[in-house]
Structure 1
Amino acid sequence: MKVKFLAVVLMAILISGISNAQAIKEDFKPSTYNQPLSQYPQVNSQGYARFRIFAPKADSMRVTLGLGGQGGTVLKKGADGYFTGTTAGPMDEGFHYYHLITDGGVFNDPGTLNFYGSVRWESGIEIPAHDQDFYALKNVPHGKVQQVLFPSPSTGEPRRAFVYTPPGYDKSAVKYPVLYLQHGWGEDETAWSNQGHANLIMDNMIAAKKVKPFIIVMTYGMTNRSVRVNGVRQFAVDTFKTVLLKELVPYVDANFRTIATRNGRAMAGLSMGGRETKEITLANPEVFAYWGLLSGGEYAPADLKGKMKPKFLFISAGSKEDRSKTIPKAETDLKAAGYNVATYISNATAHEFQTWRRSLLVMAPLLFK
């Protein structure tokens, strides 16, 4: 009986494996981030990703993108010298970093564009999302994202920021509030406009009259050089706080038409940028009136006790993140203590840019009320 039972189980597993393989739809299309004329990587309507890379002299290749706990996707070499493989299952919607492990070395996929993350330029792939329309490039008035270089005596070198100004900024005399929006660990000041599409999200909401136009300032937050070697645990906010408060904010107020008051400023950040935001806003509540943590921790009444009261708090995370389970209590506690707070949980996403794109979409209309 045991032998028969085992045979039945094995047959069921085999049939299940065949069924799953057959269930993959062969409607793969090149990723939107591919290099010109590159056909791979590709994604299908279910969220699977497929890779094909020419490396005739290589012996092994693995793509770090794949289902959790499986070490990525192993590519198989064909007689034509191409390594090919498909993820074992569908990926979360949105943007993902990845790289190749080829014969033990780390390389980028030559078929796709590179994005700064994990303290290096990584390959990137976009899994089309069901709600991608809110960050799509549309025929609407567009703002500008411009690079600015500002002096930084505290670090002894010029620093860079990217500044989004809303549509019509150049043709008016209106003063705008400002959101200082920080990237995560291993990323830089390009992340929110490249990976996050913050400018397109704002353009689309402004065109739909869903948000009050404001300026967004994005700068490099990893001023502590040791973090590049020792990781995020060695990161200290103090140096960046000096850059932000003593150098960048005055520069922006002097060079852009801003509402240069506490009520005209917000600060928010994702992941490590949320840690920066939390520490800086709590230590300097007189500078920013609106505070946002995107997968970057939570505020609690005890944190805020005795401090200048923020006008608004925002806390978010992906539903696949552990902190999504603690956010509801944080909201309840803050509201009971008399704080104006809103929270958001991004459905079916983890610690990734689709969570943060959606978070910006929800947070932005609530700022500067």
Structure 2
Amino acid sequence: MKRLTALTVALLIGVTMFAQQALWGTTPVVSPEIHDNNTVTFRFKAPKAVRVQLTGDFLPVQKNAKFEAPGIVDLKEGQEGVWEYTTPEPLKPELYSYSFIVDGLRMNDPANVYLIRDVSTLTNVFIIGGDRADFYKVNPVPHGTVSRIWYDSPALGLERRMTVYTPAGYETSGKRYPVLYLLHGMGGDEEAWISLGRTAQILDNLIAQGKAKPMIVVMPNGNASQEAAPGESSRGMVPPTMQLPKTMEGSYEQAFPEIVKFIDKNYRTIKSKSGRAIAGLSMGGFHSLHISKQYPDMFNYIGLFSAAIMPNKEVSSPIYENMGGKLKVQFDKNPALYWIAIGKTDFLYKANEEYRKLLDEKGYKYTYYESDEGHIWKNWRIYLTEFVPMLFR
């Protein structure tokens, strides 16, 4: 019996040691390694690979790509099959994303657990701190609360989910707060702004520094056919896609007052036009434009980030009819801020230029912000840090 017990103990020790060796027995690959001068080294262990490449939004844009696609560079194989690439120049402060391409197959970095989903693509991320990028970091400041909540939408016939940020102290202050309704782009959902846009970190830091008023931020799902983000609804783990019905044909705009009504009923809000803002990127900018003109007494602050302007010609909805008349009513009511921002190389630049020309011809006042680059999250995070401090002053 004693010999059997000793044998059992020996076997257990052997299994434990093997498991520990599997976890810790190899020298870890460090990637990405951010150096003191802000150059960055990327590494990927693939002893049998023929070619390992890196693609990331810190690399020059591919010249022949239809849309702005990040550049691609080759890694050099070193000892023990570890491939390596170091950026030739220091990277500027920013949140960056990247992936590897191993013998033609796109792969994430096994040495970096930090990933973000953008529609159906997962990419690794890292932050170079300093300047504006410090707003994207979790800093030692008071933190707000992020909740995923469900509301009933009779207009859409669905129970739907949205993400809500409440500022630090909301739970105990007893105060009423203004609300920013922040809308995502095509293919996004109620997770997009909180993950890719770093909304909670940006708001925490701006509020803590006294650069923004404490506010509630509501991030709804802008796809009128969806209950919630992929994997978070009764449809189960369906593949994320940009090809969704009922996105820019009027349904969402018509149903939007249900969201405002729900928030006003369930949160301590300032229930007036002066206490509400709406902004969005791309499709969300399109929604913000048409919601704000459809309900001119609902929002006092409007932000169009790289916005689509008009629906496809075959779309027919009362939401998009009599645009000129609705804009006149909206601007006659003197919104406190009508803010338009876009990148110089954005594929929607011309549409925005034409829209601004229309506003100029009518004498409608707006504020314009132009950035470098194009239709990318880097710009939309910049726009959020610029827009939020102007609200509710």
After TM superposition, the score normalised by the length of structure 1 is 0.74
Task: Quickly say closer, same or farther: Cα 1:186–1:100, change in 2 above 3 A.
Answer: farther
Deviation string 1:312-346 (CA, Å, 9 cap, x unpaired) is 20111345547679978966874674544222234
Q: Secondary structure at the match of 1:137?
A: coil
> In the alignment, which residue of structure 1 is the partner of 2:52?
61
Distance in structure 2 (CA, Å) of the matches to 1:47 and 1:351 = 25
Task: Quickly say closer, same or farther: Cα 1:78–1:325, change in 2 above 3 A.
Answer: same
Deviation at 1:188, TM superposition (A): 3.1
> In the alignment, which residue of structure 1 is the partner of 2:196?
195
Q: Indicate if the aligned counterparts of 2:34 and 2:41 stay in contact, CA closer than 8 A.
A: yes
Aligned residue type for 1:142: H
> In the alignment, which residue of structure 1 is the partner of 2:84?
84
Distance in structure 2 (CA, Å) of the matches to 1:208 and 1:285 = 32
Alignment partner of 1:245 out of 252, 257, 261: 257
Q: Secondary structure at the match of 2:143?
A: coil
Q: Indicate if the aligned counterparts of 2:119 and 2:240 stay in contact, CA closer than 8 A.
A: no
Aligned residue type for 2:192: A
Distance in structure 2 (CA, Å) of the matches to 1:276 and 1:64 = 32
> In the alignment, which residue of structure 1 is the partner of 2:8?
none
Q: Indicate if the aligned counterparts of 1:52 and 1:83 stay in contact, CA closer than 8 A.
A: yes
Aligned residue type for 1:317: I
Deviation string 1:44-83 (CA, Å, 9 cap, x unpaired) is 5666543211233433332221321174122233451222
Alignment partner of 1:52 out of 43, 47, 50: 43
Flag structure 2 segments of 5+ consecutive residues without an equivalent. Answer: 1-27, 64-70, 227-237, 311-322
Aligned residue type for 1:180: Y
Aligned residue type for 2:253: K
Deviation at 1:87, TM superposition (A): 4.6
> In the alignment, which residue of structure 2 is the partner of 1:102?
102
Deviation at 1:269, TM superposition (A): 0.8
Q: Secondary structure at the match of 1:131?
A: helix
Distance in structure 1 (CA, Å) of the matches to 2:247 and 2:41 = 36
Task: Quickly say closer, same or farther: Cα 1:239–1:333, change in 2 above 3 A.
Answer: closer
> In the alignment, which residue of structure 2 is the partner of 1:264?
275
Q: Secondary structure at the match of 2:297?
A: coil
Q: Secondary structure at the match of 1:358?
A: helix
Alignment partner of 2:289 out of 278, 281, 298: 278
Q: Indicate if the aligned counterparts of 2:152 and 2:158 stay in contact, CA closer than 8 A.
A: yes
Aligned residue type for 1:109: D
Distance in structure 2 (CA, Å) of the matches to 1:74 and 1:136 = 30
Matched, 1:222 2:223: yes
Q: Indicate if the aligned counterparts of 2:43 and 2:85 stay in contact, CA closer than 8 A.
A: yes
Q: Secondary structure at the match of 1:151?
A: strand
Deviation at 1:166, TM superposition (A): 1.6
Flag structure 1 segments of 5+ consecutive residues without an equivalent. Answer: 1-36
Distance in structure 1 (CA, Å) of the matches to 2:298 and 2:208 = 29
Matched, 1:368 2:392: yes
How many aligned residue pairs are there? Answer: 330
Q: Indicate if the aligned counterparts of 2:184 and 2:281 stay in contact, CA closer than 8 A.
A: yes
Deviation at 1:224, TM superposition (A): 5.0
Q: Secondary structure at the match of 2:75?
A: strand
Alignment partner of 2:31 out of 23, 26, 40: 40
Aligned residue type for 2:202: I
Q: Indicate if the aligned counterparts of 1:316 and 1:324 stay in contact, CA closer than 8 A.
A: no
With 91-100 and 353-362 compared, the bigger mean Cα shift is at: 91-100
Task: Quickly say closer, same or farther: Cα 1:182–1:329, change in 2 above 3 A.
Answer: same
Task: Quickly say closer, same or farther: Cα 1:135–1:101, change in 2 above 3 A.
Answer: closer
Matched, 1:161 2:185: no
Task: Quickly say closer, same or farther: Cα 1:81–1:293, change in 2 above 3 A.
Answer: same
Distance in structure 2 (CA, Å) of the matches to 1:129 and 1:243 = 41
Deviation at 1:284, TM superposition (A): 3.1
Distance in structure 2 (CA, Å) of the matches to 1:243 and 1:48 = 48
Distance in structure 1 (CA, Å) of the matches to 2:350 and 2:250 = 30
Deviation at 1:363, TM superposition (A): 1.4
Deviation string 1:7-60 (CA, Å, 9 cap, x unpaired) is xxxxxxxxxxxxxxxxxxxxxxxxxxxxxx872123456665432112334333
Deviation at 1:163, TM superposition (A): 1.0
After TM superposition, list the pairs within 5 Å mapping 1:282-297 onto structure 2. 282-297=293-308
Q: Indicate if the aligned counterparts of 1:174 and 1:257 stay in contact, CA closer than 8 A.
A: yes
Distance in structure 2 (CA, Å) of the matches to 1:165 and 1:302 = 36
Matched, 1:311 2:302: no
Task: Quickly say closer, same or farther: Cα 1:69–1:208, change in 2 above 3 A.
Answer: closer
> In the alignment, which residue of structure 1 is the partner of 2:9?
none
Distance in structure 1 (CA, Å) of the matches to 2:384 and 2:80 = 45
Distance in structure 2 (CA, Å) of the matches to 1:237 and 1:129 = 41
Q: Secondary structure at the match of 1:260?
A: coil
Distance in structure 2 (CA, Å) of the matches to 1:298 and 1:238 = 13
Q: Secondary structure at the match of 2:131?
A: coil
Deviation at 1:181, TM superposition (A): 0.5
> In the alignment, which residue of structure 2 is the partner of 1:17?
none
Task: Quickly say closer, same or farther: Cα 1:107–1:187, change in 2 above 3 A.
Answer: farther
Task: Quickly say closer, same or farther: Cα 1:211–1:127, change in 2 above 3 A.
Answer: closer
Task: Quickly say closer, same or farther: Cα 1:257–1:100, change in 2 above 3 A.
Answer: same
Q: Secondary structure at the match of 1:83?
A: strand
When the two chains are superposed, the root-mean-square deviation of aligned CA atoms in Å is 3.6
After TM superposition, the score normalised by the length of structure 2 is 0.70
Aligned residue type for 1:315: I
